[in-house]
Every structure is written in structure tokens, then in C-alpha cells.
A and B are shown apart, each in its own frame.
Chain A
Amino acid sequence: MTAQDLIRPGAVIEMAHGGGGRATARLIRQIFARHFANPLLDQGHDAAVLPRPVGRIVMTTDAHVVSPLTFPGGDIGSLSVHGTLNDVACGGAWPIALSAAFIIEEGFPLADLDRIAASMGAAARSAGVPIATGDTKVVERGHGDGVYITTTGIGVVPDGVEISPQRIRSGQAVLLSGTVGDHGIAILSRRQGLEFGTGIQSDSAALHRMVADMVAAVPGIAVLRDPTRGGLSATLNELAEASGHTITLNEAAIPIRPEVAGACEMLGLDPLHIANEGKMICICAEEDAEPLLTIMRAHPQGGDAARIGTVGDAAAPGTPGLLRMTTLIGGMRIVDWLAGEQLPRIC
């Protein structure tokens, strides 16, 4: 039976596709196995057997829900690969394998699933990381939002690399690999009721190659973190709190695309609260800042890398570290967590 047999025009996911019977096997063979093909997956076992790694193992998991499923610059498939690879990279690690679990809603078009799986397979191949194992479940119509994808990643971290907010110290530099807010604004531009025209693409991208070069050059990097949901402010607030240090940003140094700034002005949003899917924050010793920026800028994902701030004093005992910013005009303010869901405002 060929792929075209399954993905005929108008064909949709039925409950039987998740029943574990012949329909499930056919779905896996014709969509997932076809797009993900690699030696580990092709073993065809319930559990993939991986070669013994050299170094300590990092493991991370991420559930991906996104609306719309396809957006400028990517879709839920590529996003679910990049998101987990980047989480592995945040441990200073090199990713060696991914797993993928799909929860698909009854009635979801098979052609759309095929397209998402193709994009996911392409993202994994381009990253050089196999999807070693997976699972599929189907939920009744109305019990899901099209498709949810959970990916788990395993990676190996070289000896001597100890990424931890506990290693944040006064005087360290805060680096960012590129422009803020691209992903969140790309998604928002396609949300029902808010549509606006823009050339903004999601920044969804795998960062592990850039990170590997950074870690190889400077094994003593204190922190790597990808500022996804809640944007730069959420991630840096977490780090300030966890480390008990004040972090001071310089607003003028934070890279932002003019269209993202324009969309934020229009919708009354703070770009520091907007999600990114292909950016890395790095906190490192002052003397390592310039060499690391040079390495970041040599990668396509780090072309706009910039130093955006400095770690300040330790907060008074019993008080959390604070994230603040020198504003464009030279004032000072706190950069707060996003309160609740990010909502466009008119006043």
C-alpha cells in the first residue's frame, strides 16, 4: 500500500488510528516511519537501544501546543524538535536522540498530519538528531486542539561543563543570541480576530551547534537558557531569583526587529514578554563575553548576538534578586514577570 492510499483527499484521523490495530500500524508506517526514518527508529522495537554515551546524560521533555498549528516560519512539527533540542543545549549538552508522542484529535486531516510529520522529520534530519521512538494516541473530536506533540530529548554533556544559576556571580556579562519577540509576534499575527500583515517569521531554530561551539571555547559558561514562554523577562527573572543577584539590562542594547517593535506598539505589548523559539541567553565571565559573541555571530542563529546586560550585586539576604533595566532615555525600572496571559490592550 502506498502513502497515497492512506492520505487520500479528505481523509481524516479516526478513532481506529489510535486503537493499536492495523490502522495504527499503517498510520505509523506511512506517515511517521516514512518521514522520521533513521536506524534507531527502524529497529522497530518498543524501546530504542542507544550506544553507550561518553559523558554525563541530560534529559528533558517538552509538551507542544500551539495555535495556529502552522505559522510564518514553522509549524508545530519543527517547533517540537527545536524546542526540545534547545532545552538539551541549555544543559551545555549535545543532543543524541529524541522521542515523540502525538495526541491527535479525531477528524484531524491526514494531509495536515503528513505535512507536520514531514516538517518534523526535516527539522530532526537537519539537526542531525534521530527521532528514536514515539507513540500515537487519538482522542475524540472536541477533546483536543488538532494535534499535541510531546518530545523528549537526551543529550551528553562534556566533563567540566557545569551550567547552573548557582554559578551566577556579580560582574558577569549577560549575552543574547539575537532579536526578541519574533516567534510570539509571528503567532499573534495569525491569531483569529487580531490578524495583521507582517513579514515577521518565527525564529524557531535548533541552537545546539552554536552552543556546542560556545561550550567548547568557554567550558566555564555559568548559564545557558532559552527565553521561550514569558519572553526574556520571565527567563531572566527566574535567573535573578534563583541566583539571588540583581541583573541589570540595557534597553538600547536589546536587539529587536522594527516590525516586532511596531506590532508591540500597536497591541500595547512589551517585547520582553514575548516568546522566542530560537534564542539563547548566556551568562558568562566578563572576559569571556567578547569571544563568545564572536562565536555566536558566526552561526546563522546568532548573527544579531549582543551583550544586553550585567549581573549586579547579590540581593540582601531574604530578598529575591531583581531584574531591572536602564531605559532608552537613561532612567531605571524593574522588568517584571508577565502578569497572567499576554493580552493586547487599547489603553
Chain B
Amino acid sequence: MCLAIPARITALHDGAMATVNAGGVTRDVSVALLEAVAVGDYVLLHVGYALHLISEEEARETLRMMAQTGLLQDELAEMAGTSGGQGA
């Protein structure tokens, strides 16, 4: 359950409101459930509220682990020296 999408904060407003951009779509949302937030942060958005900050570092680490999973030995060798993220 609970459809929530990543969105980037593009502007902060009075009353704990913010404008976000989610894949090119903009909307005003509440950031009242977050302790602190800055323009440029990515947040997880649900029913008009930002629910949590998204950690860029953790996302990169998850993708790095995925990229190393299931590779055959020769593929691993091939990847040595190149970075892991293969995301679109």
C-alpha cells in the first residue's frame, strides 16, 4: 500500500509548504512532517506531504550492491575500474 514518489524540493514557502518537482510535474506540498529540509533535497511524497528525505548516498550504495549481484566472474573482471551504477 501507500503510493509515494520521489520529488525534488524547488522552493520553500511559509506555513511549512514547498513546491516540488516529480519527473517534470510540479505541485505544492506540506513539509511539516520533516525536521529540516532545503531546496534541492529529494523527498518521498505521499498524499500531499513529504514523508521522509531520500538519501542519495544510500540509493547509490543500493544500486552498487545490485550491480555487483549475479555477475559472472568475467563480467566482474570487465567491470573492474568502472563504476557500478547502470541505471537508466
Contact = CB atoms under 8 A, between A and B. Distances in A.
Asked if A and B touch directly (CB within 8 angstroms), the answer is: yes
Interface of A: 189, 196-199, 257-259, 261-263, 265-266, 268, 345-347
A197 B2 CA distance: 23
A198 B2 contact: no
A347 B3 contact: yes
A197 B46 contact: no
Interface residues of B, number: 13
Contacts of A265: 5, 22-23
A264 to B, nearest CB: 9
B30 to A, nearest CB: 15
7 contacts: A258-B23, A262-B23, A265-B22, A266-B22, A345-B3, A346-B47, A347-B2
A197 B3 contact: no
A263 B21 CA distance: 10
Contact of B3 (A257, A262, A346): A346
Interface of B: 1-3, 5, 22-27, 45-47
B2 A346 contact: yes
A259 B24 contact: yes
B69 to A, nearest CB: 14
B48 to A, nearest CB: 9
B25 A262 contact: yes
Contacts of B2: 346-347
B3 to A, nearest CB: 5
A268 B45 CA distance: 13
A22 B79 CA distance: 81
B24 A258 contact: yes
A13 B23 CA distance: 42
A332 B76 CA distance: 29
Contact of A198 (B1, B24, B47): B24
Given A346-B46, A346-B47, A263 B25 contact: yes
Pick from A199, A261, A266 the residue with the most CB of B within 10 Å: A266
A261 B46 CA distance: 17
Nearest to B23: A262
A198 B26 CA distance: 6
Contacts of A198: 24-26
B85 to A, nearest CB: 17
Given A346-B46, A346-B47, A262 B1 contact: no
Contacts of B26: 196-198
